[in-house]
Amino acid sequence: MSDLQPSAFSLQPAAPTSHSLWNRALRRIPGGVNSPVRAFRGVGGEPFFVNKAKGCTITDVDGSEYIDFVGTWGPAILGHAPQVVIDAVTETAKHGTSFGIPNPLEVEMAETICRMVPSVEKVRMTNSGTEAVMSAIRLARGFTGRDRIVKFEGCYHGHVDSLLVKAGSGALTLGQPDSAGIPSSLATLTSTVPFNDLEALQGVFQEKGSEIACVILEPVPANAGLYLPEPGYLEAIQKLCREHGALLIFDEVMTGFRLAPGGAQEIYGITPDLTTLGKVIGGGLPVGAFGGRAEIMDHLAPLGPVYQAGTLSGNPLALAAGLAQLKEMERTNGWALLESLGAQMEESVRSAIRGKPLTFHRIGSMFCLYFTEVPVRNLADAKKSDTAAFARHFHASLREGIYFAPSQFEAGFISTAHTPEDLKRATQALKAL
């Protein structure tokens, strides 16, 4: 035996490639993905599989690196794997990963949210933005004793039955703005109107005002690309709600703590009755929250008759990550840096697209390039985009080492880890259009 020489051939299996992983995923995961927009259906081709991420860079299993403008769909506000978050999660994990019992981080996060978002007097944690929205809708119905809700076309609020009607995000990308499996009797309790169309909203209130429990919206819709509320529009919505006794819910799962410490409601000076949050307060880990006026929140069990629960709500790892990220943003005034970087990207993009039939929108560190020259005010305008042209640009950017969301109908995100040079590189593929 001692005379045998070691084999020249390795018996170790070859490292998986994105292509091989994709084929394996297709056999065991519906559509090969655990969230529809990841499937590249809107742009064609096969998705790649990420192996690691650091700062503003992601690396796939094939070794290719990309400057990332998806940022886990928003929460990577400091970039991927910031040291303060890694340290917080590591230290917290030493003491346990889940308790199902109150822990101090829940209290600290609640106090932090109430301090930074003035409209929130009390808050409850959930495990996702979808859970937060679902719970806020139930609470609004329980508080008002009404059943009808009003939402806006193209605003996506998670896969909640009542709200997956004329939705955005992945549902829109796949050409299925509604979903099978939702009872028609439930869908009839949801009224939808175009965003930035005050007359349409007034009409709904005139006809159904006494039935409306709440109006829910993204104050800055970011699931059909990104478009902005027209001057006075949010104020008019709030006025209608107050006149008819309906609650106003701001879905700030994307905009909360990203556009400003107090989210979009701070920027626009609006005080909603309830707010849903997520993304940033988890620092990349699953989390959500909803909060608002104390008299409304006190209708939740165990104080009131509206039931909501979750074994993993207030998970210590997620809250440790979120608190570390928010503290770092406050310490460094990260929002000023994000605004500066956003302005630099806007200048670079507008220079590259001058004279081309494209429309660019930005607010803070969120942006969207529409492949249409028409002004984009709402979902109907966004759907006029040339999605085939977007797909060509997506793949051209990918070849340049730039990763945007694989859909015309998604927003892009800048982090504090991006540099001015990264932002300039993001416009390289535009020059060939």
Residue 166, pLDDT score: 56
| Whether residue 309 is found in the same domain as residue 354 | no
pLDDT at 176 over 50: no
pLDDT confidence tier of residue 386, bands split at 50, 70 and 90: very high
Could you give the CA distance from residue 134 to residue 151 in angstroms, rounded to a whole number?
13
What is residue 289's three-state secondary structure?
strand
Q: If you average pLDDT over every residue of the chain, what do you get? A: 92
Percentage of residues of the chain with pLDDT beyond 90 = 85
Question: SS3 sequence, 312-369?
Answer: CCCCHHHHHHHHHHHHHHHHHCHHHHHHHHHHHHHHHHHHHHCCCCCEEEEECCEEEE
173 has pLDDT over 50: no
In a domain, 216, yes or no: yes
Round to whole Å and give the CA distance between 344 and 9: 52
In 64-116 the beta strands, taken as DSSP E runs, fall at 65-68
Closest CA to 390 of 364, 360, 355: 360
pLDDT digits (tens, 9 = 90+) for 139-148: 999 999 999 9
65 lies in the same domain as 101: no
Model confidence pLDDT, tens digit, residues 235-268: 999 999 999 999 999 999 999 999 999 999 999 9
Domain end marker among 282, 301, 331: 331
Cα separation of 298 and 301, whole Å?
8
In this structure, is residue 4 part of a structural domain? no
Q: Where residue 171 falls among pLDDT bands split at 50, 70, 90?
A: very low
* 196 and 144 share one domain: yes
279 assigned to active site: yes
Which of the residues 122, 151, 166, 279 is marked catalytic? Answer: 279
- Quote the pTM value: 0.92
CATH of the domain at 44: 3.90.1150.10
pLDDT tens digits for range 112-136: 999 999 999 999 999 999 999 999 9
The phi, psi pair for 155, rounded to 5°, reads -85, 125
Is it the case that residue 7 has pLDDT exceeding 50? Answer: no
Q: Which of 66, 122, 151, 156 is catalytic?
A: 156
- Please give the pLDDT value at position 428: 85
Looking at the structure, tell me whether residues 104 and 72 fall in a common domain: no
Residue 265 lies in a domain: yes
pLDDT at 184: 76
Condensed to tens digits (0 to 9), the pLDDT of residues 276-328 reads 999 899 998 999 999 999 999 999 999 999 999 999 999 999 999 999 999 99
Whether 178 has a pLDDT exceeding 50, the answer reads: yes
Residues 161 and 57 reside in one and the same domain: no
CATH number at 224 reads 3.40.640.10
Terminal-to-terminal C-alpha distance of the chain? 66
**58, 104: one domain:** no
Tens digits of per-residue pLDDT, 349-384? 999 999 999 999 999 999 999 999 999 999 999 999
pLDDT score recorded for residue 174: 41
Q: What are the angstrom distances between the C-alpha of 397 and each of 270, 403, 429? A: 38, 7, 5
The token duo for 405 is 């969301």
Mean pLDDT on 155-178: 62
Q: Is residue 234 part of a domain?
A: yes
What total number of domains does the chain contain? 2
Q: In this predicted structure, what is the pLDDT of residue 246?
A: 98
pLDDT at 15 over 50: yes
Catalytic residue among 60, 68, 251, 273: 251
Coil, strand, or helix at residue 54?
Answer: strand
What was the pLDDT predicted at 430?
86
Question: Of 288, 308, 331, at which residue does a domain stop?
Answer: 331
One domain for residues 267 and 339: no
Last residue of a domain, one of 279, 303, 331: 331
The whole-number pLDDT of residue 317 equals: 97
Structural domain containing residue 384 = 18-26+39-81+334-432
Give the pLDDT score at 1: 44
pLDDT at 46 over 70: yes
Distance CA(250)–CA(129), nearest Å, equals: 12
**Is 13 part of any domain?**
no
321 and 362 assigned to the same domain: no
Q: In what order do the strands lie in the sheet with 274-278?
A: 122-126, 288-292, 274-278, 247-251, 212-217, 148-152, 190-193
**Better-predicted residue by pLDDT, 163 or 201:** 201
Tens digit of pLDDT for each residue in 92-107?
999 999 999 999 999 9
